């Protein structure tokens, strides 16, 4: 069974940083690209970042470029999101998702981890 479990969220001060983790199981992790998608309270879904299956390529939405870094460790079946210079606009539930092969979309999602930015 495919499972994605996010962790690392919590209360962070404005300007602070946090690292989110997404532990994968139930599939060959190194064969799939991964994404982070966030959802602010009461709002819709927003793409944040993606990383290729081998970790060699990373992409970001404009609002997080230079502040967030996505990475992965295929030996640990884990994808990370290092987040810095956080502001209230970054407060959201952060989901990791597996990118299906062959343009089948985001076929599996984790339950998400909440990042609260507040002093």
Partner 1 sequence: QSVLTQPPSASGTPGQRVTISCSGSSSNIGSNYVYWYQQLPGMAPKLLIYKNDQRPSGVSDRFSGSKSGTSASLAISGVRSEDEADYYCAAWDDFLSTDVVFGGGTKLTVL
Rounded Cα distance between 35 and 79, Å, is 9
Tokens of 55: 């970790």
Strands (E), 8-118: 10-12, 18-25, 34-39, 45-51, 58-60, 68-73, 78-83, 92-99, 106-109, 113-117
Query: Using the rule CB under 8 A, which residue among 23, 40, 106, 114 binds partner 1?
Result: 106
Answer yes or no whether residue 9 interacts with partner 1 by CB under 8 A: no
Print the binding letters for residues 23-42 with partner 1: x by CB under 8 A, - otherwise.
Answer: ------------x-x-----
- Sites for partner 1 among residues 45-84 (CB under 8 A): 45-47, 50, 59-62
CB of 24 to partner 1, least distance (A): 14
């Amino acid at each position: 069974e495919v499972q994605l479990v996010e962790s690392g969220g919590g209360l962070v001060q404005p300007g602070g940083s946090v690292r989110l983790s997404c532990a994968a199981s139930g599939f060959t992790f190194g064969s799939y690209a991964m994404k982070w998608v966030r959802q602010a309270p009461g709002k819709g879904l927003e793409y944040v970042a993606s990383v290729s299956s081998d970790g060699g390529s990373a992409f970001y939405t404009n609002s997080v470029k230079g502040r967030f870094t996505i990475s992965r460790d295929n030996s640990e079946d884990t994808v990370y999101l290092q987040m810095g210079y956080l502001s209230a606009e970054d407060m959201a539930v952060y989901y990791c998702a597996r990118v299906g092969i062959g343009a089948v979309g985001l076929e599996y999602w984790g339950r998400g981890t909440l990042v609260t930015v507040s002093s």
